[in-house]
Amino acid sequence: MTSLRDRVDSLLASLARAPELGLISILVALTVYAAAALPAFRTTGNADQILSNSTIIAILALAETLVLLTRQIDLSVGAELGLCAYLVGSALGHVGGGPPVAILMALGLGAVLGLGNALLVDLVRMPAIIATLATLSIYGGLQVVVTHGSQLYAYQLPHWLTTLYATKWGPLPAFACVALVLVVVLTAGVQMTRWGRDLYAMGSNPEAAGVTGLPVRRRTYEAFVACGALSGFAGLLYAAQYGNVDATAGNGIELTAIAAAVIGGVSLFGGSGTPAGAALGALLLIEIENILAIEKISIFAQELLQGLAIVASVAVYALVRRYSQRVGARRRRLQAAGPLSGAAVVEPAEAHP
Amino acid sequence: MTQTDRPPQAQEPVVELRDIRHGFEGVQALRGVGFAVAAGEVVGLIGENGAGKSTLVKILTGVLQPDEGTLLLHGEEVRFANPRAARHAGIAAMYQEPLIFPDLSVAENIFVGRQPSRSGFVDWSEMRDEARALLQRLGIELDPGTPARDLSVAERQLVEIAKALSLGARIVLLDEPTAVLSAREVDRLLEIVRRLREQGITLIYITHRLDEVMQVTDRVVVLRDGEKVADVRTAETSIRELVRVMVGQELAALEQRRREAKPGDDVVLAVHGLTRYGYFEDVSFQVRRGEIVGVFGLVGAGRTEVAQALFGIDPIDAGEILLDGRPFVPRSPRHAIRSGVAYLPENRLLNGLVAQLSIRLNMTMTIWQLLARLGIVRERPVDRAVDDLAGRVRLQRGSRRRAASTLSGGNQQKVVLSKWLATHPKVLILDEPTHGIDVGAKADVLRIVLEHATAGVAVVVISSELEEIQDLSDRILVMRAGRVSGEFVTPVEKDDVLHAAYGLQQRVAAGGAG
């Protein structure tokens, strides 16, 4: 006897547990609508472009997710990306090197920058939002210093890197494949290993994590370092995508990345959200951007819409969660009344006003 | 009441404390406490606030280290440097508000940090199965997959217990677990406590609620002022006895002293035919100097209304009040106070306490005028009055400038009581003075009543707790449906009083006064 209410309850409950499902439905609906309404949207080239353009934001959102899960935040991912894009790019330009060297350099440099954040958070005991606001300026300033106001041009970069953006691996653009691999790896990492579960636990209740004896400090370092490394890697892709890297590369991109993660269901209060969700959030933002560009709607309206998307998604998550909690409470009441029915009404615990 | 096939004393103690002492900042929280707990024994640890229970819990769980004394585990001396050491030794504590991970499932909350894994990956189905088995063994009906966010406080406590046991805890401390639970949830928790006991888990149960102690423990240890004052088998004691022990011989001595002082013959308060139509009619009684008169009756019998009329809150339609033999027509609470009548209202949060105001202002608001000079309330006399009153009611230590709302229920009641004691009343009317406060505060209130009666104050105690009134009063006045339906000199049979309160045989719920 599944009533409509039960069905709605279970739908919302699964939505509360896996917000990615809701996000996918929105993406599908938007894509179907845009494909029907806009001929320019329908082309394969456009689809590839959406996927490729989402990749950098998606990787930054993935990086951010690792830190957000632990109830920290990293505002410096954009600066990390910019600095790594320039330094790794010019290093490759000077000494050359294949993909393994490039990837190792990007990850390594990013990891060092992430370690800086972790040290400020752990040793100096700065709140992450302040520490990474500071490193956003510091790394951004370093970027200006090392670039001397000049820029890196595509011809200075190795050929394999500058052609990567347009390369397709099978049916998918190479960029999208890279993003997909990272989503899979990180999903396995956070969902299926104790390491990842520790991140969730820390963000869910930091005090309890400490009392339970989880390696909280170590995981904090690891989260920031991994976030930095991924941001560095995103920097390498940035150089590949744009060819030109200057002192402003990556400016402001951290906010888009955080927005993508939040839209994807990653909580700023830690403990919930998934890498897949964050990546889908990035995809949604870029797809909206793409549609607006086809419709020739101003870039300012795009920002407005991005803001509205954040508000809407956060509100929906909050509502769904509250609803599922109410369902939980109702289930409890029913259970409580079940075996012992006939007795007095359950009084709520004496609460202080 | 509990089927014991093994006398706990016969076994070697699992935990033994010897002469544990601990102090902070010059305050000696524990002054040489020692007791032993056998395997599978449930020991209740009770005492007033500040008796040292929390300090003891912290020492047992490695949060604090004793200044002196030894802790023995299975006969061997141990010293816990930190909570982890205690946990390793198999001691777990469960607090009122357990620390859970709201985003993780019940199963993962139990196994967090040590999830069953296969080649590096968490084995979710294995974890869920293990959790289910564990919960089943404890008789906890919870789906291991439920997000902990959706659990009630009671369920979170159960998860915490399951977690402790899966971590190998053999000794579980429950620190006032039931203060935040509903009656049904308390029953469930007690059921689980019994089940743990059957499985050989040793439990130390800290609570303010003596009925739970009687229900579930094998033995009770009572702490007072950092010392152990009793260590008795539960079957051989009673709630009354425990209360007496908790507050020491003090109450008994006070009662004794008061008996010797013998209430005087001069009537302080005399009420003749007092009537307020629709609320109470033809109420007559007398209270002598130093006498305690209990007023019993069902809710709505008119007890509170009479008190409010005496205090000038409600009007009087007919009848006469004599105060010290002179006619007294209470015009307002202010007038009543000035005439020497004080009234502690029934609901302290509604009528007694200005919760946002500081403790010291709450305590002295009835005497601001006396403390003021030229209309300005001076600091030092207020402080002196507050210190004096706080000592008399034994208010919890701490700043007196905090908001009164930060205090526990019992201490709030003491603050309200102080306010009335500050007026040096001739007649003290207390409306449900011990309702909803912990045992220690309750005892303090009783002590204050006895002390004031001994000092010659005429006391009227309105209460729904018959035993309390029986113990405390010289005479009991029973009200029913707005009228005095009986008057008894103590000692009196409980049934007689109840008959008068219910009106012969018919059990009228809440007499039709209002």
Window from A114-118, A130-134, B4-8 with minimum mean pLDDT: B4-8
Q: What is the pLDDT of residue B513?
A: 39
- Fold for the domain defined by A19-327: ABC transporter involved in vitamin B12 uptake, BtuC (1.10.3470)
Q: What is the pLDDT of residue B128?
A: 95
Strand order of the β-sheet with B341-344 is B341-344, B427-431, B458-462, B292-297, B475-480, B483-489
Q: Name the more confident of B490 and B478.
A: B478
Residues of A in contact with B87 (CB under 8 A): 213
Most confident range (mean pLDDT) of A233-242, A325-334, B432-441 is: A233-242
Residue A271 to residue B108, Cβ atoms within 8 A: no
Looking at the structure, tell me whether residues B442 and B317 fall in a common domain: yes
Looking at the structure, tell me whether residues B333 and B430 fall in a common domain: yes
Looking at the structure, tell me whether residues B283 and B226 fall in a common domain: no
Alpha carbon of A227: minimum distance to chain B alpha carbons (Å): 22
- Decide if B227 is inside a domain: yes
The model's pLDDT over B309-326, given as tens digits with 9 standing for 90+, comes to 999 888 899 999 999 888
Residue B476 φ then ψ, to 5°: -120, 130
Task: Choose, out of B84, B99, B412, the residue to mutate when testing the contact with A (most A CBs < 10 Å).
Answer: B99
3-state secondary structure of B231: strand
Looking at the structure, tell me whether residues B324 and B353 fall in a common domain: no
Asked whether the predicted pLDDT for residue B331 surpasses 60, the reply is: yes
Complete DSSP assignment for B244-309: HHHTTTHHHHHHHHHHHH---SSEEEEEEEEEETTTEEEEEEEEETT-EEEEEE-TTSSHHHHHHH
Residue B100 to residue A332, Cβ atoms within 8 A: no
Q: Could you tell me the CA-to-CA distances from B134 to A213, B22, B142, B188, B204 in Å, in that order?
A: 21, 37, 11, 17, 21
> What percentage of chain B reaches a pLDDT higher than 70?
92
Alpha carbon of A346: minimum distance to chain B alpha carbons (Å): 7
Looking at the structure, tell me whether residues B288 and B401 fall in a common domain: no
Window from A303-307, B127-131, B246-250, B395-399 with minimum mean pLDDT: B246-250
Looking at the structure, tell me whether residues B335 and B440 fall in a common domain: yes
3-state secondary structure of B447: helix
Residues of chain B contacting A, Cβ within 8 Å: 83-84, 87, 99-104, 108, 112-115, 117, 120-122, 141, 146-147, 149-153, 155, 180-185, 349, 436
Asked whether the predicted pLDDT for residue B342 surpasses 50, the reply is: yes
Q: What is the pLDDT of residue A334?
A: 61
Q: Which chain A residue shows the shortest CA-CA distance from B119?
A: A193
Q: What angle do CA A188, B99, B126 make, to 5 degrees?
A: 40
Residue of A193, A270, A347 lying closest to B120 (CB–CB): A193
Residue of B113, B153, B182 lying closest to A198 (CB–CB): B113
What is the Cα–Cα distance from B426 to B324, expressed in whole angstroms?
9
pLDDT bracket for residue B55 (50, 70, 90): confident
Looking at the structure, tell me whether residues B229 and B363 fall in a common domain: no
Query: What is the domain range of residue B497?
Result: 253-340+426-514
Alpha carbon of B140: minimum distance to chain A alpha carbons (Å): 12
Asked whether the predicted pLDDT for residue B179 surpasses 60, the reply is: yes
Cβ-based neighbour number of residue A271 at 10 Å: 24
- Decide if B438 is inside a domain: yes
Asked whether the predicted pLDDT for residue A239 surpasses 50, the reply is: yes
- Decide if B48 is inside a domain: yes
- Decide if B474 is inside a domain: yes
Looking at the structure, tell me whether residues B506 and B432 fall in a common domain: yes
Residue of B84, B101, B184 lying closest to A336 (CB–CB): B184
Looking at the structure, tell me whether residues B439 and B330 fall in a common domain: yes
Instruction: Please say which residue of B369, B400, B424 terminates a domain.
Output: B424
Residue B182 to residue A212, Cβ atoms within 8 A: no
What is the Cα–Cα distance from B295 to B480, expressed in whole angstroms?
11
Mean pLDDT for all residues in chain A: 88
Residues of B in contact with A203 (CB under 8 A): 103
- Decide if B191 is inside a domain: no
3-state secondary structure of A271: coil
- Decide if B152 is inside a domain: no
State the complex-level ipTM. Answer: 0.85
Q: Which chain B residue shows the shortest CA-CA distance from A327?
A: B150
Q: How many CB pairs under 8 A join A and B?
A: 93
Sorted by where each begins, the domain ranges of chain A are 19-327
Residue A201 to residue B101, Cβ atoms within 8 A: yes
Residue B113 to residue A200, Cβ atoms within 8 A: no
Residues of A in contact with B103 (CB under 8 A): 200, 203-204, 270-272
Q: How many domains in chain B?
A: 3
What is the average per-residue pLDDT within B10-22? 85
Q: Name the more confident of B29 and B27.
A: B29
Alpha carbon of A124: minimum distance to chain B alpha carbons (Å): 24
Q: Which chain A residue shows the shortest CA-CA distance from B355?
A: A353
Residue B113 to residue A205, Cβ atoms within 8 A: no
Residue A197 to residue B182, Cβ atoms within 8 A: no
State which amino acid sits at residue A189: G
3-state secondary structure of A33: helix
Q: What is the pLDDT of residue A23?
A: 87
Q: Are A284 and A309 in contact (CB under 8 A)?
A: yes
Strands B372-373 and B341-344: unpaired
Asked whether the predicted pLDDT for residue B450 surpasses 90, the reply is: no
Looking at the structure, tell me whether residues B415 and B294 fall in a common domain: no
Residue A188 to residue B141, Cβ atoms within 8 A: no
Residues of chain A contacting B, Cβ within 8 Å: 17, 188, 192-194, 197-198, 200-201, 203-205, 207-209, 211-214, 270-272, 321, 324-325, 327-329, 331-332, 335-336, 340, 343-344, 346-350, 353
Window from B23-27, B113-117, B298-302 with minimum mean pLDDT: B23-27
State which amino acid sits at residue A277: G
Provide the whole-model pTM: 0.71
Alpha carbon of B190: minimum distance to chain A alpha carbons (Å): 16
What is the average per-residue pLDDT within B417-442? 84
Residue A271 to residue B84, Cβ atoms within 8 A: no
| 3-state SS track over B13-41 | EEEEEEEEEEEECCEEEEEEEEEEEECCC
Token pair 């009344």 in the structure block, residue: A337
What is the average per-residue pLDDT within A215-233? 97
State which amino acid sits at residue B135: L
**Which of B462, B49, B450 lies closest to B223 in space, CA to CA?**
B49
Token pair 């920031």 in the structure block, residue: A224
Asked whether the predicted pLDDT for residue A53 surpasses 90, the reply is: yes
Looking at the structure, tell me whether residues B332 and B415 fall in a common domain: no
Asked whether the predicted pLDDT for residue B10 surpasses 70, the reply is: no
Residue A336 to residue B99, Cβ atoms within 8 A: no
- Decide if B7 is inside a domain: no
Alpha helices in A194-298 (DSSP H): 194-204, 206-212, 216-242, 253-263, 275-294
pLDDT bracket for residue B511 (50, 70, 90): very low
Residue of A200, A207, A343 lying closest to B99 (CB–CB): A207
Residues of A in contact with B180 (CB under 8 A): 349-350
Residues of B in contact with A194 (CB under 8 A): 113-115, 117, 122
Paired with B431 in beta bridges are: B462
Q: What is the pLDDT of residue B414?
A: 87
Task: Choose, out of B61, B101, B412, B435, the residue to mutate when testing the contact with A (most A CBs < 10 Å).
Answer: B101
pLDDT bracket for residue B258 (50, 70, 90): confident
User: Which CATH number characterizes residue B30's domain?
Assistant: 3.40.50.300
Residue B184 to residue A340, Cβ atoms within 8 A: yes
Residues of B in contact with A325 (CB under 8 A): 149-150
Q: What is the pLDDT of residue B138?
A: 87
Residue of A194, A214, A328 lying closest to B150 (CB–CB): A328
Q: What is the pLDDT of residue B127?
A: 95
Q: What is the pLDDT of residue B436?
A: 72
Looking at the structure, tell me whether residues B447 and B502 fall in a common domain: yes
Residues of B in contact with A193 (CB under 8 A): 117, 120-122
The model's pLDDT over A6-21, given as tens digits with 9 standing for 90+, comes to 777 777 777 766 778 8
Token pair for residue A13? 């409950």
What is the average per-residue pLDDT within A207-214? 87
Window from A199-213, B471-485, B491-505 with minimum mean pLDDT: B491-505
Residue B101 to residue A208, Cβ atoms within 8 A: yes
Q: Which chain B residue shows the shortest CA-CA distance from A201?
A: B101
Mean pLDDT for all residues in chain B: 84
